[in-house]
Amino acid sequence: TSLFSDVPPSIAFARVALEQGPDAVNFWLGSSASVTAMHKDNYENVYVQILGQKHFVLLPPVDAPCVNEKEVLAGTYAPK
């Protein structure tokens, strides 16, 4: 079955909190061994965990000098 059909096109609390609809909807799938490198997203996020657990380390922007932050060009979502 398709999981996508179980996901509404708009999530009311997110639309209210972000004061707009989503720019993009991404789906990430990984095993228990999956690890994501430290990074900064240049957009707002709503994260949904369907099964298992994910550990986040969130840092305030003022801590950027302490983590050797480097400037990387922002990605752009372009639907096909």
Name residue, tokens 């550990």.
55
The answer to whether residues 77 and 23 touch, using CB atoms and an 8 Å cutoff, is yes
| Global confidence as pTM | 0.53
75: left (phi over 0), alpha (psi -120 to 50) or beta: beta
The predicted-structure confidence for 36-80, as pLDDT tens digits, reads as follows 888 877 777 888 888 888 888 888 988 888 888 677 777 777 887
